[in-house]
Amino acid sequence: MATINQNFNKLAGGYLFPEIARRANAYQNENPQKVLYRLGIGNTTEALTPSVIKAMAQKVEDLSKRETYSGYGDEQGDKALREAISDFYKKREISLAADEIFISDGAKSDAANIQSLFATDNIVAIQNPAYPVYVDTNVVSGRSSDYDQKKNQYSKFVYLSGTKENNFFSPPPKEKVDLIYLCSPNNPTGAVATKEQLQQYVDYAKKQRAIIIFDAAYSEYISDADLPKSIYEIPGAYECAIEINSFSKFAGFTGVRVGWSVVPKKTVVENSVEGELNRHWFRRQVTFFNGASNISQAGALAVLSDEGLAEAKELIGYYMENARIIREALETLNLVVFGGDNAPYLWVETPNNLDSWQFFDQLLNQCQVIATPGVGFGSEGQNYVRFSAFGHRENILAAVKSIKENLVI
């Protein structure tokens, strides 16, 4: 008698985006003449850049001829791409060998699967608010207690509250934890950890022999030279940190699907020796995965060329100008806005102590603007909404015009 993995039933309803869609559709049906402005989802909207297109078109052509066709690549990714990422880190004086880098089909897969390296009784610490994947994958894998609907939390997890008092980046927990998920620049708050803040976590992890899982998917949006783009800029991090990154927001690969993870050979846990975690992640990837698409990997390699990097910078600049436009408009209305300076997300305090969904409804009904209710990312998001800077400029301008003209606070 086969039986289901009961942990799936512990999952709180993943109802955030479906509920947004439901309310948006209901409004649209009642107001068919109105145009909705979607600033909710972190989805790229601008074309891939010329060098990426050229490389992928060439790869497709290569696959059309038997002389240049290729089938299975290495599960851990094309060596040329892993070496290019190694070189990319080297520019920031970070030393990672190509066999410490693993190419995947995106940061989400890596963020979801990395927990399988660790024992199921390990205690997980998660930022609050946070990207739901860290929470949900640990629930499915058996590291949580039941969901406490009242608290909007799982009691076995340790939540690291990000509030305006701590600039949305909590210090390390007082209790002992084993796996710590950190996302910087943060989704959803747009907050970026300083070197000092990350150093506290590295010190904590080394002392407690904990592992930091550092999600750097938005790192290329950092323009402030003093802010760290990688956890490996922090002394001691090689021994205790795994990093996850992606070409999705870096270069518009949300649909093309390439990411990478870094498991340094020096990274160790209580009952492992140097190199063991790296070897297990290799074994995990060659066993559960068969490599990212070769066309997509050809595109990713082009991103890392000088030309590709210059184009990616321009693309990021476009979205960050969107962020600036949104921030300026919201501040004109005396709304309190966080993030959006080194990240493509703006974390906006609701006016009049409204809860997330109340302000969501107000924005929808008065301005036809769709934001994301902060509470969908955790209990600390209750009095916030997230604005995304991804969008065509003309839509962003139209959205902020509507907010400025129609929002009654």
Least separation in angstroms between residue 40's CB and a second copy is 13
Pick the closer one to a second copy by CB: 7 or 379. Answer: 7
Residue 188: asked if its preceding bond is cis (omega within 30°), the reply is yes
Three-state SS at 347? strand
Angle at 389 between CA 244 and CA 33, to 5 degrees: 135
Pick the closer one to a second copy by CB: 162 or 299. Answer: 299
- Dig out the tokens for 103 from the structure: 């190419």
Least separation in angstroms between residue 66's CB and a second copy is 5
Residue 206 half-sphere exposure toward CB, CA atoms < 13 A: 13
Pick the closer one to a second copy by CB: 79 or 209. Answer: 209
The answer to whether 275 and 301 are in contact (CB under 8 A) is no
Instruction: Give the full edge-to-edge strand order of the sheet including 372-373.
Output: 337-339, 345-349, 384-388, 372-373
Residue 149 half-sphere exposure toward CB, CA atoms < 13 A: 4
Least separation in angstroms between residue 397's CB and a second copy is 15
Residue 92 half-sphere exposure toward CB, CA atoms < 13 A: 18
Least separation in angstroms between residue 193's CB and a second copy is 20
Pick the closer one to a second copy by CB: 90 or 283. Answer: 283
Cite the DSSP H helix spans in 209-343.
Answer: 248-251, 276-288, 294-303, 306-332
Least separation in angstroms between residue 246's CB and a second copy is 10
Pick the closer one to a second copy by CB: 172 or 350. Answer: 172
Pick the closer one to a second copy by CB: 48 or 216. Answer: 48
Pick the closer one to a second copy by CB: 178 or 341. Answer: 178
What is the C-alpha separation between 191 and 302, in angstroms, rounded?
A: 29
Residue 279 half-sphere exposure toward CB, CA atoms < 13 A: 6
Least separation in angstroms between residue 178's CB and a second copy is 4
Least separation in angstroms between residue 30's CB and a second copy is 26
